[in-house]
Amino acid sequence: MIHELKGRTNILKYFLSAMVLILFLSACGKSEPETAAFTPGFIYEFIDGNHVRFINQTEGEYHILNWDFGNGQTESTTSKSEQFEVYYPQAGEYDVTLTVIGLDGGRGSLKKTVSIEQTDFEVTFTLSVDAAHPNNVNLENTSVGTFDSFSWIFRNRVIENENSAVAYFPYAGSYTILLKVVKDGKTYSSNKPVTIALDDPGYFSKFGLVWADEFDGDAVNTNNWAFETGAGGWGNNELQNYTNGSNTEVKDGILTITALKVDDYKVAGSYTSSRIITKGKHEFTYGKMEIRAQLPSGKGIWPAIWMLGNDIGTAGWPACGEIDIMEYVGYMPNTIYATVHTPAGYGSNGSGNSRALQSAEEDYHIYGLMWTEKEMIFYVDDINNITFRYAPTYKTAENWPFDKPQFFILNVAVGGNWGGAQGIDNSIFPQSMHIDYVHVYQEN
């Protein structure tokens, strides 16, 4: 028993000795931490009370210098000798940090505080809500120092170089007013919030005519409109070929767009028509749009008065936004449609509504849109005859891509996914949409 215990003790001693040896060898194999190959360093000197020159004095081997001058300005360079002259317009304490990146990716940094004792330039302004006109905000530029130019920015509007200005807000809500000042080629800014308590009941009366086409000549005015041509279906499997003017006529103050039958086959190219647009010529953000028109009739006809975002070439559809002021399909006579297409809802899932209009084919009617930053109101003849109101509570790029310019489109399509849903009656042709005028009103 005693011999057995001694044997076990010897085995344990050998085991512990082996473990100690392994730990020793392992420790011997580890290298000491490498010391940094560089030491970050810089000095600065005042050029004047508000301009400071920074000079790199980092020692060793390194690759990149990243500067943060504490005033929002940053610089990155691989030049060890490059110096930077930095402007600090306002008095204060500024923490300047130099971060050095070594050849192996290692980093080191140094921070110093620069004290500026005098204010040379500062962007400031005052604002006050006009008690007598509570939708007006009085602005006064009180910026300190000299500068080249400035602008007030609010509601997607800009007022330039007016020390005393008035910002108008038609709707109740919370807003931000921005003052941008340019000095020596650089832009500085300041913003303040303002709250408007009530809607302006007289807002719509402040609109004035800014553009119109009365179609008083003897041809489509190419300063206002361009023809879009082709028979590619236009994304809706339409069957008409849009021509370069042969399906339009301007006479006695009326624009007429006529759809004609070419053959009886009811295929792409069996019909001709016209589609005219104001893209690149007249584009609008917000306003009251009114188009006075008489509509064609018959199964298979599909006239439209509408707008598209001018960024369709880059954003694509429906991200550009589409505003259908009026659409009409001949197989549902005397019913007009108003629709909005956005990434949140497009095609058959667009947001819209319809209404009965018994004399749509026999008489001229005004098809109107009141478009503001708050909402879109679609109406017929009078703004109180509302077809559809579109006003998302929380506006995003998905449901409101409408704070940017849109252009007009006037066209008469034949067939297509919607217009031809119940077939085409070839006996109805020719069919025409007549337009008396297009008017655009915006805030005075």
Tokens 């929380």 label which residue?
394
Beta strand segments in 134-265, E: 136-141, 149-154, 157-160, 164-168, 173-183, 186-196, 207-213, 226-227, 240-242, 248-251, 254-261
Tokens 């001018």 label which residue?
310
Half-sphere exposure of 251 (CA within 13 A, CB side): 4
What is the homologous superfamily of the domain 125-201 according to CATH? Immunoglobulins (2.60.40.10)
**Domain segments of the chain: what residues?**
38-116, 125-201, 204-443
pLDDT for the residue numbered 17: 52
pLDDT for the residue numbered 7: 46
Q: Catalytic residues, which ones?
A: 322, 327
5 phi, psi to nearest 5 deg? -65, -40
Note whether 38-116 and 204-443 share their fold: no
Each residue of 369-391: pLDDT tens digit?
Answer: 999 999 999 999 999 999 999 99
pLDDT for the residue numbered 1: 41
pLDDT for the residue numbered 156: 85
Average pLDDT over residues 64-90: 96
pLDDT confidence band for 40 (50 / 70 / 90)? very high
pLDDT confidence band for 16 (50 / 70 / 90)? very low
pLDDT for the residue numbered 18: 46
Assigned CATH topology for domain 204-443: Jelly Rolls (2.60.120)
Flag whether pLDDT at 2 surpasses 80: no
* Vertex 177 angle, CA 174 and 183, to 5°: 165
* Residue 64, strand partner residues: 101
Verdict on whether the full-model pTM lies above 0.85: no
Flag whether pLDDT at 444 surpasses 60: yes
pLDDT confidence band for 36 (50 / 70 / 90)? low
Q: What is the pLDDT of the chain when averaged over all its residues?
A: 93
Each residue of 261-311: pLDDT tens digit?
Answer: 999 999 999 999 999 999 999 999 999 999 999 999 999 999 999 999 999
Average pLDDT over residues 390-409: 97
Contact 144, 124 (CB under 8 A): yes
Average pLDDT over residues 424-440: 98
Q: Report d(CA 37, CA 191) in Å as an integer.
A: 46
Q: Report d(CA 415, CA 419) in Å as an integer.
A: 5
Flag whether pLDDT at 19 surpasses 70: no
From the options 2.60.40.10, 1.10.3720.10, 3.40.1440.60, 2.40.320.10, give the CATH code of 38-116.
2.60.40.10
Each residue of 94-124: pLDDT tens digit?
Answer: 999 999 999 999 999 999 999 999 999 999 9
Percent of the chain with pLDDT over 70: 92
Indicate the residue type of 192: K
